[in-house]
Amino acid sequence: WCSSTLHIQNYAGFQQLKSQGNSLLLSTHCSRIDWLIGEYLGMLGDRAVRVNFVAEMTIGLLPIIGWPRVLFGDILVVRAFPKDGPRIQANIEGFHASGVERLIFLAPEGFIADPGCAVGDKYIRDCEAFMADLGLARLTHVLTPRYKGMQVFVKHAPGNVGSCAMSFVEGYPTLDPATGAWRGGDPATLSLA
């Protein structure tokens, strides 16, 4: 697919998640093309499923990429729970009322698309302070999850939630089929710092 090798550990578990109707997949978020991988995974296997995403509201302003996402029913957020909570709830209720089943692909921890920008650097510092306040080590490759919205998302499929970790490796790695560990190649998923 696009000359890339896609390795999925526990593919059977992912297929089972898709086969049970409405589902929620929590994923790491490490690139601007994660949504393409989500769409592709929705088409694989015995049962293709509708995949919707959670993205920043500004995506909806992009003519070729964003407008279709609005029309397809993606959940676009502004990262302010008082505004996002009702929007998320209304989207989920609308799809449930219509009987359309889907997999919602949610990357709850966020991603800095433009490293080095002042806003991104401040957000990373805020996330580090949040973890320190909890007495936890700072996260090195993902931002602190936005937990308030997840309490609403779980209402979409409370009994059918999965999680995955995504990373990108350049070069020609080999994978151990038993452990999923890769040897060779270079990690392309960058650290926050």
pLDDT tens column, 21-60:
999 988 877 677 777 888 888 998 888 999 999 888 888 8
**Does 129 score more than 70 pLDDT?**
yes
Distance of CA 59 to the CA centre of its chain: 15
Q: How far apart are CA 143 and CA 69, in angstroms?
A: 24
**Does 193 score more than 80 pLDDT?**
no
* Residues 63-90, mean pLDDT to the nearest whole number: 90
119: nearest Cα among 91, 143, 92: 143
**Does 1 score more than 60 pLDDT?**
no
**pTM > 0.85:** no
Give the helix/strand (H/E) hosting 99: none
Give the helix/strand (H/E) hosting 41: helix 34-43
